[in-house]
A and B are shown apart, each in its own frame.
Chain A
C-alpha cells in the first residue's frame, strides 16, 4: 500500500544552520508529494509540493525535489530561522487512492537563537 516515512525528531538546530528532513515514500503509480507545516496552535499549511519526477517544490526558502529513483522528497533549507520552529509533515496523494492525503508521522523542528 501507500505509505510515507520521515525521519524521527525532534530536530534541534541553531539559527542559520542547514536543515534536512528526510522523507521517503511507497506508492503505486505516480503520486504527488507534499510538505505541510504546522506552527504551534495552528492548522496544517501547505509548504510546497511536486507533482512529477524531478520537479522541485520551493517556498519560503525551503526546497524539496521529487526523486523517483530513490522514492524520496527530502526537505531542505539553507539557513533556518527561529520562526521556522514547527512540525513538518511529508505527505503523498496517489490518484489511484483518490484524493486522500497519506501523511508521515511528522518531524518537530526547534530552532534556537
Chain B
C-alpha cells in the first residue's frame, strides 16, 4: 500500500508562534503533495500544491507568507503556519501522489489549536 504520515497529529500553541507540520510518504516517492484545510463539518479545502524541488502553487485566498510550504525531497513536505492566530485553528491534511498516477494518498491529519 501507500502510506502517508503526518507529524504531529495534534498541536497546541500560543498566538504569535510558528508551527511546522510534516507530511511524509513512507513507502513511495511523492512527486506532488497537496495541503488541505478542513473546518468542522466542512469539506476539505485545497490550500496549495507542491511539486518536489519547486515552489508551491497556492490557491486563491491562501496567504503564501502565512502558510510556508517546502517540498525538499520526494518523501517529505512541510507546512509552517507562521505567527499563528486563533483563526488558524483547524485540521490540516496532506496528501501525496506518485508521478504519473492520479490517486492521492492522504495523511491522518494534524489538528492545530492556537490559543
Contact = CB atoms under 8 A, between A and B. Distances in A.
Given A32-B102, A93-B102, A105 B32 contact: no
Name A's interface SS: loop
A104 B43 contact: yes
Interface of A: 4, 32, 36, 41-46, 89, 93, 98-106
Interface residues of B, number: 23
A45 B42 CA distance: 18
Contacts, number: 47
Interface stretch (B11-19, B73-81, B104-112): B104-112
B24 interface: no
A99 B106 contact: no
B25 to A, nearest CB: 12
Nearest to A93: B102
A43 B106 contact: yes
B67 interface: no
Contacts of B108: 41-43
A101 B109 CA distance: 16
